[in-house]
Structure 1
């Protein structure tokens, strides 16, 4: 099985959350569900465009190699190695989100402070761990190249959305 589909879904989900984070704290209105949904959709759109970069990188690697089957296998192994650390990170985020929504006010505040806040700050380290996992699982140079471009793409979504739509709000 190719890891491209789960990785794309994780990347797009992360992009939607990045759009929300770019918007969070910029609006003092009480009812802001529509604005938050719009921000998540903006993040999703920007993420979809930025995630074309690793896709095109992988396609170019496959088109320019002499042994496509071997390169495909290398990229697949790298993708599986990339997916494992991100799946662990995503599970921790989902657990924190579940605690945030399920617990009463004090518990949900604790879930935010102890879970979601630090996990947001650890996103770049999760990407580095994923790149390392890609190399260690047999992805080699091609896996590292595609993984690095994918990691840079997802880490650029939040600043891009903030700069485009929310930079004027202080």
Structure 2
């Protein structure tokens, strides 16, 4: 199986959370399901546009390569190496989310403070580790280029959503 689908899925899930984070804390209403859903969808929309950049970069590196099969193999190795650190990061986020939703109130609050808060701050380091994983797995400069562009795109979703829809106070 190609690592492109899990990577795209992780990017889109992260985008939904980024849209939510751009909105979070702006509304004191108790029932705000519609607003949080709208924020997540905004994150997905922005991400869908931004994630075209690494896809087009990968295509351009394949088209420009002298040996396309060798370049394709390198991109696959790099994508696999990129996926491994992100999978570990996503598993820890999923574990923190499960603790938040399943544990009693005090324990779920602790899961939020100890798990989800710091993990949000570690997102850039997780992407840097993914880029290093792409290089370490034999992806070469092509995979690093695609990985850096993909990581930049993912990290830009939340600021773009915040600036576009939530910069003004309510």
TM-score above 0.5: yes
Distance 1:79 1:5 in 2: 10
Aligned length: 170
Which aligned runs of 4 or more in structure 1 are off by greater than 2 angstroms? Answer: none
Partner Cα separation in structure 1 for residue 142 and residue 113 of structure 2: 38
Report whether the alignment pairs 1:41 with 2:29: no
Query: SS state of the match for residue 82, structure 2?
Result: helix
Does residue 96 of the first structure (1) align with residue 99 of the second (2)? no
Q: CA RMSD in A?
A: 0.7
Structure 1 residue 85 corresponds to structure 2 residue 85? yes
Gaps of 5+ in 1: none
| Inter-partner Cα distance in structure 2 for 1:167 and 1:28 | 17
2: CA distance between counterparts of 1:9 and 1:31? 28
The normalised TM-score by structure 2 is 0.99
Matches within 5 A, 1:21-32: 21-32=21-32
Aligned residue number for residue 152 of structure 1: 152
Pick which of 90-99 and 64-73 moved more. 64-73
Task: Give CA-to-partner distance per residue, 1:138-167, whole Å, 9 cap, x none.
Answer: 011000000000000000000000000000
Partner of 1:75: 75
Any gaps of 5 or more consecutive residues in structure 2? none
